[in-house]
Copies of this chain bind each other. A is one copy, B any other.
Amino acid sequence: MAKEREFVKELADITQDLPQWYTDVVLKTELVDYGPVRGTMVIRPYGYAIWELIQAELNARFKATGHRNAYFPMLIPESYLRREAEHVEGFAPEVAVVTHAGGEQLTEPLIVRPTSETIICEMYAKWVQSYRDLPVLLNQWANVVRWEKTTRPFLRTSEFLWQEGHTLHATEEEAREETMQMLEVYREFAENVLAIPVYVGIKTEREKFAGAVDTYGMEAMMLDGKSLQAGTSHYLGQNFAKAFGMKFLDKDGVHKLGYSTSWGVSTRLIGALIMAHGDSRGLMLPPKAAPVQAVILPIAGHKGGVNEKALELEKLLQSSGIRAEADLRDYSAGWKFNEWEMKGVPLRIEIGPRDIERGEAVLVLRHSGEKKSVPLLGIENTVIEHLELIQSAILEKARAHRDSRTKTAHSFEEFSALIDGGNFVRGGWCGLEKCEESIKEQTAATARVIPFNDDLSAAAPKTCVCCGKPSKHKVLFARAY
Contact = CB atoms under 8 A, between A and B. Distances in A.
Interface of A: 33, 35-37, 40-45, 48-49, 51-52, 68-77, 80, 92-103, 109-110, 112, 119, 122-123, 126-127, 138, 142-143, 145, 147-149, 158-159, 161
17 contacts: A35-B72, A36-B73, A36-B80, A37-B73, A42-B70, A42-B71, A45-B69, A49-B69, A74-B159, A75-B158, A93-B102, A96-B101, A96-B102, A99-B100, A101-B158, A102-B147, A102-B148
A86 to B, nearest CB: 18
A343 to B, nearest CB: 14
Given A42-B70, A101-B96, A76 B37 contact: yes
A110 B40 CA distance: 12
A49 B68 contact: yes
A42 B73 contact: yes
A70 B97 contact: no
A75 B96 contact: yes
Nearest to A72: B42
A41 B70 CA distance: 11
A110 B112 CA distance: 12
A8 B74 CA distance: 34
Contacts of A112: 98, 112
A119 B35 contact: yes
A70 B52 CA distance: 10
Contact of A77 (B37, B101, B149): B37
Contact of A69 (B40, B52, B72): B52
Contacts of A97: 98-101
Nearest to A106: B96
A74 B143 contact: yes
Indicate how many identical chains form the complex. Answer: 2
Contacts of A44: 70
A329 to B, nearest CB: 10
Contacts of A93: 102-103
Given A42-B72, A48-B70, A36 B122 contact: yes
Given A98-B97, A112-B98, A48 B71 contact: yes
Contacts of A122: 36
Contacts of A43: 70-72
Nearest to A329: B132
Given A45-B69, A45-B138, A159-B73, A36 B119 contact: yes
Contact of A99 (B71, B73, B92, B99): B99
A42 B99 contact: no
B123 A33 contact: yes
Nearest to A68: B45
A429 B88 CA distance: 59
A51 B71 CA distance: 10
Contacts of A161: 71
A318 to B, nearest CB: 12
A35 B102 contact: no
B100 A96 contact: yes
Nearest to A80: B36
A77 B143 contact: no
A71 to B, nearest CB: 4
Nearest to A44: B70
Given A35-B73, A96-B100, A97-B98, 4 more contacts: A48-B70, A52-B69, A102-B147, A102-B148
Nearest to A119: B36
B94 A102 contact: yes
A77 B110 contact: no
Nearest to A43: B71
A443 to B, nearest CB: 28
B123 A77 contact: no
A68 B148 CA distance: 29
Nearest to A93: B103
Contacts of A33: 123, 126-127
Given A74-B143, A94-B102, A95-B101, A48 B69 contact: yes
A37 B110 CA distance: 9
Nearest to A71: B43
Contacts of A100: 96-97, 99, 109
A190 to B, nearest CB: 22
A370 B159 CA distance: 51
